[in-house]
Amino acid sequence: MKSMKRILWAVAAAALSMSMVAPSAARADDGPLAGRAEISAMGGLQALNENDTAFPDQFVTIPAVVTATYHLTSLFAVEGEFTWMIPVTQSVDLGSSGVQDLKPPDVLAYQANLRASWPGAAVTPYIVGGAGAVTFLSSTDADRYPQLDKSETAFAVNLGAGVVYHLADRWGLRADLREFVAFPSDGASAFSQNGNADEVWMERGTLGLVYRF
């Protein structure tokens, strides 16, 4: 799985690099999203993958995503993104402890991104990537895994792609696929074993509305 993820990241990084050699002198009023700020609100599904030091099985959450976008040119935009990953109770295989109904902590993610788009009359595909942090919120409820007596914040990066379908002059429909990776510190006791913490991989798929102004 990790080798496939490395390939995905390498391909997306190469695509982003290629997009940056496109005619960046294009003005912000050259495309359908041109010279406008955007607010998007999306929801969907987000996975927290199994790893060796924190999550014994794959967990599923419901992400609520709000993104503010500013288009620098018709090709490039900067984004600030906030995500609340709402946990879902599910059957989790704990190995020798059997299967239990559990859910992960609530998770907040805040990322600063660069987006490269290819504007079209009806649709605008894009690739996007950035960095920021995620916070796993504290909870010691019996159905939480892992149980956290204090919130833990970790550096995180993201990379992905999506498309905006233009519904009207100011409205659009946005679909987004994203890979997040969080890097908990080795001192984060709930995410480490023997002084070592594995990264947390998280795949997200969302769909929602965009308003341009």
Residues whose CB is less than 8 angstroms from the CB of residue 24 and which lie 6 or more positions away in sequence, other chains included:
73, 75, 76
Distance CA 199, CA 53 (A): 9
Looking at the domain assignment, is residue 25 inside a domain?
no
- Name the token pair of 187: 């001192």
Q: Is residue 141 part of a domain?
A: yes
Specify the number of domains making up the chain: 1
Q: Would you give the distance in Å from CA 210 to the centre of its chain? A: 17
**pTM of the shown model:** 0.83
Share of the chain above pLDDT 90, in %: 70
Residue at 175 is within a domain: yes
The domain of 206 spans 2-20+31-212
Distance CA 19, CA 128 (A): 11
Residue 91 within any structural domain of the chain: yes
Two structure tokens written together for 179: 């890979």
Q: Which two tokens stand for residue 175?
A: 């679909």
Cβ density class 181-210: b for 16+ within 10 Å, e for less:
bbbbeeebbbbbeeeebbbbbbbbbbebeb
40-95 pLDDT, tens digit per residue, is 999 999 999 999 999 999 999 999 999 999 999 889 999 999 999 999 999 988 87
Contact, 59 vs 48, CB < 8 A? yes
The per-residue pLDDT for range 11-28, each reduced to its tens digit, is 455 544 544 444 443 444
The more confident residue out of 4 and 189 is: 189
The answer to whether residue 26 is domain-embedded is no
* Stretch (H or E) spanning 132: strand 123-136
DSSP strand pairing (123-136 vs 152-166): antiparallel
The CATH code of the domain that includes 86 is: 2.40.160.20
Q: Distance from CA of residue 8 to its chain's centroid?
A: 15
Integer Cα distance of 206 and 161 in angstroms: 11
**From CA 191, how far away is CA 39, in angstroms rounded?**
34
Residue 129 belongs to some domain of the structure:
yes
